[in-house]
C-alpha cells in the first residue's frame, strides 16, 4: 500500500505523517511530495527515511491514496491528474469542498456517501469538522433550524509562519509577519479574505459546508471567525435553535454517545474544554452545554478540538481507513 502525502513538509503534512504512524496505517511505502525547493530532503516514518519527490514523479510511482495538504491552487492543478492515474485523492484544501460532483466527508457522520468512483474526496474545513461532529446526532434528534457560531481559531490554522510570529512577539523578537497586525495580546476579527457582503471566506465555508455534510440545505448558519493568540486548537461558541424541544439530560447523552466526541461539562468543578488540553488529541471536546433562556428550543455549547488533527490530518486519514476497510480503493 503506497501512500503519498502532498505538502509533506508543511504543518498539516507533517502531522499527517505523524498520525499515519500513530494509527498503524498499513503502508508499504510513503511518498512524500513537496515543492521544488524541498525535493531531495528526507521524511521519516516508522524508522524509515523517504526522499521528497515532485508531483509527476509521485504520479509515476502510483500510490493508492494521496493525502493532499498543499493549498487550493495546487489541488486544482494536480488532483485531477492524480485521479486520472487512478489514485484516490483526499484533499485538505477548500478547492473541491463545494463542488457538487465531490463528496465532503466527516467519517463519523457521512462516510456512507463514498464509493469506488470517488477519486477526489474533500476534507472539510477544520472549524466545520469540530462543530458538525456533536451537532449531527442532535440534528437527527431535534432538527436544527439555525446555528450562530463564533470561532476562536489558533495561529497554527494559518501555518508555521504564524506560529513563528506569535512566538517571536512573545519573546520581543522582530521577525516576519504572517498577519497585518500583531497577534500576541490581540484578537484579529478576520480569517481569509472579505466578501462583498462583509463576511470572510472562512465564515462562508462554515455556512456551506455544514449544510452539505448534514445533508440539509434548510439549516441557516451565521458565523464569525476570529484569530486568537493560541498556538494550537480551535474553540467555538455555538448557539443552536431546533425545530423540536429537547431535554438537557438527553442532549448530554446524545453528545456523549457520538463517536469521536468527549463531553467535558461539570461547571461546579470548573470542567470544560480548553485548547491547552485538546492539543495533540483526536477527539472533539464539548462543554458549557446549557439552554438558551432568551428563546425557546435553543441550546448553547462550547466546542474545542485540535485543528491540525481532527480538524485536518486525522479526519483525512480516517477517510482513508474507511476506504480501505470497505474495499473502495
Query: Of the residues 58, 126, 139, 211, which is catalytic?
Result: 126
Cα–Cα distance for residue pair 198/202, rounded to 1 Å = 12
81 CB-contact burial (10 Å; exposed 0-12 / middle 13-18 / buried 19+) = middle
The question of whether 58 is a catalytic residue gets the answer no
Contact 83, 60 (CB under 8 A): no
Q: Which helix (H) or strand (E) holds 150?
A: strand 144-153
User: Is residue 139 annotated as part of the catalytic site, yes or no?
Assistant: no
Hey, which residues does 113 pair with through a beta bridge? none
Q: How far apart are CA 223 and CA 30, in angstroms?
A: 38
The answer to whether the CB of 70 falls within 8 A of the CB of 10 is yes
Closest CA to 125 of 239, 205, 218: 205
Among residues 58, 139, 211, 234, the one annotated as catalytic is 234
d(CA 138, CA 312): 23
Catalytic positions, please?
A: 126, 234
Amino acid at each position: 500500500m503506497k501512500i503519498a502525502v502532498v505538502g509533506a513538509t508543511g504543518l498539516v503534512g507533517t502531522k499527517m505523517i505523524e498520525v499515519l504512524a500513530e494509527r498503524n496505517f498499513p503502508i508499504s511505502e510513503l511518498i512524500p511530495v513537496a515543492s521544488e525547493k524541498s525535493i531531495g530532503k528526507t521524511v521519516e516514518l516508522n524508522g524509515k527515511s523517504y526522499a521528497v519527490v515532485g508531483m509527476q514523479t509521485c504520479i509515476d510511482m502510483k500510490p493508492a491514496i494521496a493525502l493532499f495538504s498543499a493549498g487550493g491552487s495546487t489541488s486544482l492543478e494536480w488532483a485531477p491528474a492524480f485521479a486520472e492515474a487512478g489514485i484516490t485523492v483526499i484533499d485538505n484544501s477548500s478547492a473541491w469542498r463545494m463542488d457538487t460532483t465531490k463528496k465532503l466527508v466527516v467519517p463519523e457522520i457521512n462516510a456512507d456517501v463514498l464509493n469506488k468512483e470517488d477519486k477526489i474526496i474533500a476534507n472539510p474545513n477544520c472549524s466545520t469538522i469540530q462543530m458538525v461532529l456533536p451537532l449531527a446526532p442532535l440534528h437527527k434528534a431535534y432538527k436544527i433550524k439555525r446555528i450562530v457560531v463564533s470561532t476562536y481559531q489558533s495561529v497554527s490554522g494559518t501555518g508555521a509562519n504564524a506560529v513563528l510570529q506569535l512566538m517571536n512577539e512573545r519573546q520581543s523578537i522582530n521577525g516576519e509577519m504572517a498577519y497585518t497586525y500583531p497577534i500576541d495580546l490581540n484578537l484579529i476579527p478576520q480569517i481569509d479574505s472579505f466578501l462583498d457582503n462583509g463576511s470572510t471566506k472562512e465564515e462562508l465555508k462554515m455556512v456551506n459546508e455544514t449544510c452539505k455534510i448534514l445533508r440539509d440545505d434548510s439549516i441557516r448558519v451565521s458565523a464569525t471567525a476570529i484569530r486568537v493568540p493560541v498556538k494550537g486548537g480551535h474553540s467555538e461558541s455555538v448557539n443552536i435553535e431546533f425545530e423540536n424541544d429537547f431535554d438537557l439530560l438527553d442532549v448530554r447523552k446524545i453528545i456523549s454517545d457520538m463517536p469521536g466526541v468527549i463531553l467535558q461539562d461539570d461547571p461546579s468543578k470548573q470542567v470544560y474544554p480548553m485548547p491547552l488540553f485538546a492539543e495533540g488529541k483526536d477527539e472533539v471536546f464539548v462543554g458549557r452545554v446549557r439552554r438558551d433562556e432568551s428563546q425557546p428550543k435553543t441550546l448553547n455549547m462550547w466546542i474545542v478540538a485540535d485543528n491540525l488533527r481532527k480538524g485536518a490530518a486525522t479526519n483525512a486519514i480516517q477517510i482513508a481507513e474507511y476506504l480501505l476497510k470497505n474495499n473502495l480503493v
